[in-house]
Amino acid sequence: MPFSLFDPTMILVIPGIILTLWAQAKVSSAFKKYSKVRSRSGVTGAQVARDILNRAGLQKVGVEPIQGQLTDHYDPRDGTLRLSEGVYDSQSIAALGIAAHEAGHAIQHAEHYGALVLRTAIAPAAATGSQLGVWIFMIGLLVSMFAGGSFVWLLDVGLILFSVAVVFTLVTLPVEFNASKRAIAILQQGGYLTADEIPEARNVLNAAAWTYVAAAATAVLTLLRLLILRNMQRD
């Protein structure tokens, strides 16, 4: 059947794009706002992360600075927690919230938290699927227009690859939500933030969570679009 790269099914991904743009603006705004609010404890993001890890018995987990903004992450492959320039040396409420969140990932790793174990296991395949899945699908769709059904298998390969990437985004949600929940509890119980500062840290982490929700929604909608196109090609 005739096909255009700008076919009507593209309307399915528009809500995901809008949600992504909104989520990015939300997290940027929250970080900018609360990165200007100094915590009463006066400790830095790096100090909070280090102290949380030590209390959890994770002295071997390193805490390192990394360039960029909001590039903070915990790498389970080498057991290193990396904090961005605006978090590592900052004493802001935003910095402490983010540092505690990343420390939460390290604790998840140490406890073999199920969702994190699964996400780490499928990460390599998900990266490949995210980069190649849609392209292989589209190439198969275009080739099948001229060569008939003999290349329809390419569509299925693309779908399988991209499906792994979709699963990755879905599994990421409980991993991130759990890390944020741990972070808020740790910040409160450890006395790093006062009771009136906790809601502000929660606002930062909630805003960040929306970026993962947007990524998952966009991935699911894109997969739905590909499935519709696959069925249309079959017909």
Please pick, among 64, 85, 102, 200, the residue that the annotation labels catalytic.
102
List the one residue out of 88, 108, 100, 91 whose CA is nearest residue 42: 91
What does the block give as tokens for 189?
């119980």
Give the C-alpha separation, 182 to 176, whole Å: 10
- Cα-based distances in Å from 163 to 126, 206, 207: 8, 27, 26
Cα(163)–Cα(11) distance, integer angstroms:
20
Beta strand 73-75 pairing with 80-84: antiparallel
CA distance 129 to 131: 5
Among the listed residues 57, 97, 60, 55, the one whose alpha carbon sits nearest the alpha carbon of residue 81: 60
Q: Is 102 noted as a catalytic residue in this protein?
A: yes
Residues in the chain: 235
Active site residues: 102
